[in-house]
Amino acid sequence: MKINNKFQVLRNNMVQSQIIARNITDINVIKAMQKVPRHLFVDENYYNDAYSDYPLPIGFSQTISQPYIVALMTEELDLKKEDVVLEIGTGSGYQTAILAEIAKEVFTVEKINGLFKRAESILMNLNYKNIFFKNSDGYNGWVEKAPFDKIIVTAAPEDIPESLLDQLKDSGIMIIPLGTCGLSQSLFKVKKAGKKILKEEICGVSFVPLVKDDA
Ligand code: SAH
């Protein structure tokens, strides 16, 4: 079997057994997960594990999220093709690619220079033209490009950073894990409606911390 066929088969199985079977229904999310070559976002040693139901190491003590969590977070964002999205924690760049398949533009911020460079190179090789990269502290968001229709945070702070709330459009959606790594952490959907902030718990999760410089 040709190598690309092999990965397409693994990818289809992943989508059937981990994504559709767990009630992800947004067709754009399903199509994106079927298309994006997840194995290219991990080290070659992990190619055969890339479509399995767990996170994988990507170096620098960081991980690429489990496929289902990527799908769930993307579905909860309720992405439209005209949306401009801010992503905090580029990591491998895999979640970035899924967002870029669906939304108009993705602005992604990563603190670790090595990961920022690696993700940028992978995503440029895959020819994405609607992704913009910044090597910076995610607590500051990307103020020059704000406000955003949607914000996704893929590392967990203790509380919602005020600066990110400020950069979310009125009636925008933010998906963010909150809490302490290894203790209690949940994924939240945060909606901004005028001065009101609505916070809805989605499920328990396990993310690396959103690192604070002065921590
Ligand atoms: N969505 C990614 C997962 C990234 S893991 C993927 O599927 O590959 C979380 C990422 O957040 C890591 O790359 C980590 O370096 C980054 N991160 C942690 N604290 C940060 C901060 N303060 N600002 C920006 N990025 C941060």
pLDDT given for residue 214 in this prediction: 64
- DSSP labels, 143-181: GGG--EEEEEE-SB-SS--HHHHHTEEEEEEEEEEEE-T
CA distances from 106 to 19, 60, 71, 143, 151 (A): 23, 23, 16, 14, 10
* Per annotation, catalytic residue among 17, 65, 184, 206: 65
Q: Which residues line ligand 1 (CB under 6 A)?
A: 62-65, 88-89, 91-92, 94-95, 109-112, 115, 137-139, 154-155, 208, 210-211
DSSP H/E element including 35: helix 27-35
Helix, strand, or coil here: 16?
A: helix
- State phi, psi for 67 to the nearest 5 degrees: -50, -45
Are β-strands 185-193 and 168-179 bridged in parallel, bridged antiparallel, or unpaired? antiparallel
Report d(CA 178, CA 195) in Å as an integer: 21
- How many angstroms separate the alpha carbon of residue 69 from the centre of ligand 1? 14
The residue whose C-alpha atom lies closest to atom 6 belonging to ligand 1 is 64
Residue 9 sits at the vertex; the CA angle it makes with 78 and 53, to the nearest 5 degrees, is 60
Domain 3-204 has CATH 3.30.420.40: no
Cα 203 from chain centroid (whole Å) = 16
- How many angstroms separate the alpha carbon of residue 178 from the centre of ligand 1? 14
The residue whose C-alpha atom lies closest to atom 18 belonging to ligand 1 is 210
- How many angstroms separate the alpha carbon of residue 57 from the centre of ligand 1? 12
pLDDT lower than 50: segments of the chain: 215
pLDDT given for residue 52 in this prediction: 98
- How many angstroms separate the alpha carbon of residue 25 from the centre of ligand 1? 26
- The pLDDT tens digits for 109-150 are 999 999 999 999 999 999 999 999 999 999 999 999 999 999
Choice from 39, 70, 112 to test ligand 1 binding pocket (greatest atom count within 8 A of CB): 112
Residue 92 is a catalytic residue: no
Q: Are 54 and 66 in contact (CB under 8 A)?
A: yes
Domain coordinates in residue numbering, the chain = 3-204
